[in-house]
Structure 1
Amino acid sequence: MKNTVTIKQLPDSMKPYEKCEQYGVSALSDVELLSAIIRSGTINVKSTDVIADILQSNEGAGLMNLHTMSLKELQEFNGIGRVKAIQLKCVAELTKRMARQTKNVGECFDHPLIVAEYYMEHMRNLDRENLVVVMLDSKSRRKSDVTVSVGSVNSSVASTREIFCQALKCGAVRIILLHNHPSGDSSPSKEDLYVTQKVKEAGELICIPMVDHIIIGDNNYYSMKEAGYL
């Protein structure tokens, strides 16, 4: 049977808030950080045990569970209700957005690896295919990006018209197309190759070339440029 001592019953030096104040937030473990957010567990289960159970699930996937688990799955843990599940998902989303914002607008996207690394954490855990257009200036510096399509588990509907409407609206000189494969395998499908060719031809007609089409998998990527399709 688990120890039911609550955070309130811990010595001050072991409480997340007090420990943070005394030693800095970096001194807190993953469990302590999340416990400080959800604050309390239940009568029979303390918050640290609830968080530990979440982090240890899926073969100890740790914090990645917050990204991959749905609200419903989180609520299956004893002590996690609707509000706490939403809080945890909000924390997960904040970490993704913060990771992306460490990269500034204006970064030079002149190599597929740079682009893949920039978008990897944001896109590799998405459960639907997302098609993203990255807008570049004349020096291949990133201006912005737009998600133009969200599809099913294994496909996204690519509208060439929407892609270039967004590019023209942004004043892009060239574009990079990205989409993710929820399966984790970045190998291109026949549809991916067809879309690449279709968008390439359309871009050439209106003088906004597509310089790459990158597929994001789970810590792997596929570049149409590197593969010789562009």
Structure 2
Amino acid sequence: MRKLRDILPEERPAEKARRLGIASLDDQELLALLLRSGCSGQDVTELSALVLDLEPRREGLLGLLHNSMQDYMRIRGVGEAKALQLVAIGELSKRIWRREAAKNLTAAFADPSICARYYMEALRHLEQEELHAAFLDTKLRLICDRLLSRGSVDSSVVSVRELMIAALRARAVRMILIHNHPSGDPRPSKDDQKVTAEIQEAARLIGIPLEDHIVIGDNAYYSFKEWGLL
């Protein structure tokens, strides 16, 4: 693990970026430049290495999209302020990625595979379930997205009323539900089916039909529409 005191001044992240350009920095150096300072017992380069190694299965930088404050606070010396800074970097990266992905959509969400691909990377590594609603226009293009709940998807935590209000405010014509299964298996549970039925009926009553419910697994998805459940 590199330590800041062992790096020549001209090779430290800020100076290296000034000399050679920002693209010359490796992942650890780039993260160190963003964090600017370390924390108790370790300098910024050591902290950056620990952050990137926190979840090996997420391949370094991918962890920034998915790690929580509690994950970062497992690192010795990392308190709430530094953990908040790290999740803010991840959230900013996620929003940039999502907006760029939306801008580059070449087809509408009429095809479940396109919708699943759009949400796959953001949801497949999460350690708890998230339920999203995608609000669509007349051509089934994405208008906007709303996070409905975190935790198990069941009717006790999903507010159908708030969902319908959000759909009306977005001037949606149709909507799609999307949620993930941390197990990696996208097959729907009984609770998934129950929530889908409740939202389908409410959506029908206000005239904004539920187009599909897509469950994201690990590089796999389940579409209620494709399986004839909608």
What TM-score range do you get, normalising by the shorter chain?
A: 0.7 to 0.9
RMSD over aligned Cα atoms: 2.8
**Cα distance in 2 between the residues matched to 1:194 and 1:10:** 61
Deviations 1:96-147 (CA, angstroms, capped at 9, x unpaired): 1111110346952221121122222333344443322211111111112222
Number of equivalenced pairs: 226
| 2-structure distance, mates of 1:128, 1:4 | 35
* Displacement after TM superposition at 1:43 (Å): 8.4
**SS of residue matched to 1:229:** coil
Cα deviation for residue 39 of structure 1 reads: 2.6
Deviation at 1:176, TM superposition (A): 0.9
Mapping of residues 80-91 of structure 1, within 5 Å: 80-91=78-89
Say if 2:98 is the partner of 1:100.
yes
Mapped partners of 1:5, 1:172: distance in 2: 52
- If the length of structure 2 is used for normalisation, what is the TM-score? 0.82
Range that drifts further, 27-36 or 73-82: 73-82
Residues 203 and 210 of structure 1 are in contact (CA less than 8 Å); yes or no, is this contact kept in structure 2?
A: yes
Structure 1 letter corresponding to 2:226: E
- Against the structure 1 CA distance between its residues 191 and 56, is the aligned structure 2 distance closer, same or farther, given a 3 Å change threshold? same
SS of residue paired to 2:91: helix
How far, CA to CA, are the matches of 2:2 and 2:97 in structure 1?
A: 36
CA distance in 2 between partners of 1:60 and 1:139 (Å): 38
Task: Check conservation: 1:186, 1:221, Cα contact below 8 A.
Answer: yes
Letter in 2 for 1:82: E
Structure 2 unaligned regions, length at least 5: none
Q: 5 Å matches for 1:110-189? A: 110-148=110-148, 150-153=149-152, 155=154, 157-189=157-189
Q: Give the structure 2 partner of residue 26 of structure 1.
A: 23
Aligned mates of 1:159, 1:81 — CA distance in 2: 34
Structure 1 counterpart of 2:182, one-letter code: P
Query: CA, structure 1 residues 206+49, in 2 after alignment: closer, same or farther (shift >3 Å)?
Result: closer
Which of 24, 49, 73 aligns to 1:52? It is 49
Listed as ranges, the gaps of 5+ residues in structure 1 are none
**How far apart, in 2, do the equivalents of 1:170 and 1:154 lie?**
23
Deviation at 1:204, TM superposition (A): 3.4
The code of the aligned residue for 2:117 comes to: E
Q: CA deviation at 1:184?
A: 3.1
Q: CA deviation at 1:155?
A: 4.4
SS of 1:63 mapped into structure 2: helix
Larger Rg: 1
